[in-house]
Every structure is written in structure tokens, then in C-alpha cells.
Amino acid sequence: MSEAEAKKEPTASSEKQFVIQKVYVRDISFETPNSPHIFQEKWEPETNMQLGNKAVVLAEGVHEVILSVTVTAKIGDKTAYLAEVQQSGIFNISGYGQDELAAMVGSYCPNILFPFARETIADLVTRGGFPQLLLSPVNFDALYHEYAQQQKRQQEGGESEVQH
């Protein structure tokens, strides 16, 4: 191989790599604080879903991403159930710039994890004796973009305060 050909080939360290090592439930909780009486109520719940995302560097190029999903169903002021799942994954991610890496752990990985969390919550709710719950898909790309814009505004605001 000529020297020119060797320069054209990307090195292993500069190649972008993404591998799913493991997907697992890190923590799970299901509570029905008002059972069995809640089963006698007319089933017209108000349902609320909260999402959270956290990434932890386990080793160079190895990241744990934890997607937290909490679903609360209430009938009036009574909680019918509270389902919480921390769906996690271990991902090998290398060769990406800092902004790309942030988007991977803030959007791409949660997109992979959400269907698993969604299935787990649906199963918990059904096993808890309640009608099936199907969570709508979530646009993690839009949520991450909104988060990144908010961070940028805070940094710009902080810098202008320092200058005054």
C-alpha cells in the first residue's frame, strides 16, 4: 500500500462507532396507594408522564444512559397508580465530537431505550389490575434540541452578566 493510500484510510481511533452493549431495567416501582377502593371508581383517569435522562461515563468510550419514566394516573384527587421505570443501556460510543456525543446520549440513546421502558410500564399497569396503558412515542430529538437551546441561552446570559 502506498503512503497516499494509507493517509486516505481512517484510523480506528477516528472512526465513529456506536454499539449497544446491554439494555436493562435499572430500577422499577409500582404503587397503588388507594387500592382496592380505587377499582370501584369510574375509570376516567388523568394521566401524567415525566421523563428524565442521565448519562454516566463508565470508561473511555463506554457510557451508561439512564432514561427515567414516571407515569401517574389520578381519579380526582386520588392516585390510582404510580409507575416508575429507570430503563438503562450501556453503549460504546467513540469517534464523535463533543456536541455529537452530547446529542447521542441526550437523544439517540433515549430513543433506543424508550420502547423498552414503554413496554415495562404497560406490563406493570396491566399486572396492577388497571386497563392497558399505551404511552405515545416521544420526540427525543426535539426535547434535546430544546434543552441545548436553553443551555446556550443560559451560557450567553451568564457571559453578559460577567461582562457588566
Among left, alpha and beta (phi > 0; psi -120 to 50; other), residue 95 is left
Q: What does the alpha-carbon distance between residue 94 and residue 65 come to, in Å, rounded to a whole number? A: 15
Q: What is the pLDDT of residues 107-132, one digit of tens each?
A: 999 999 999 999 999 999 999 999 99
Domains parsed from the chain with CATH numbers: 16-157 (3.10.420.10)
User: E strands of the chain, at which residues?
Assistant: 17-31, 46-59, 62-75, 78-94
Average the pLDDT over 45-72 and give the result. 97
For CA atoms 64, 65, 69, 70, give the dihedral sign.
Answer: positive
124-127, long-range: CB within 8 Å, 24+ apart, which pairs?
124/28, 124/30, 124/83, 124/85, 125/30, 125/71, 125/73, 125/81, 125/83, 127/30
> Can you give the pLDDT at residue 135?
95
Q: In this model, does residue 101 exceed pLDDT 90?
A: yes
> Can you give the pLDDT at residue 70?
98
Closest CA to 57 of 16, 117, 13, 98: 98
Judged by average pLDDT, the poorest of 32-36, 77-81, 84-88, 155-159 is 155-159
Q: What does the alpha-carbon distance between residue 68 and residue 100 come to, in Å, rounded to a whole number? A: 22
**Amino acid (one-letter) located at 32:** T
* The 46-59 sheet, strands edge to edge: 17-31, 78-94, 62-75, 46-59
Judged by average pLDDT, the poorest of 39-53, 129-143, 146-160 is 146-160
Q: What does the alpha-carbon distance between residue 114 and residue 41 come to, in Å, rounded to a whole number? A: 31
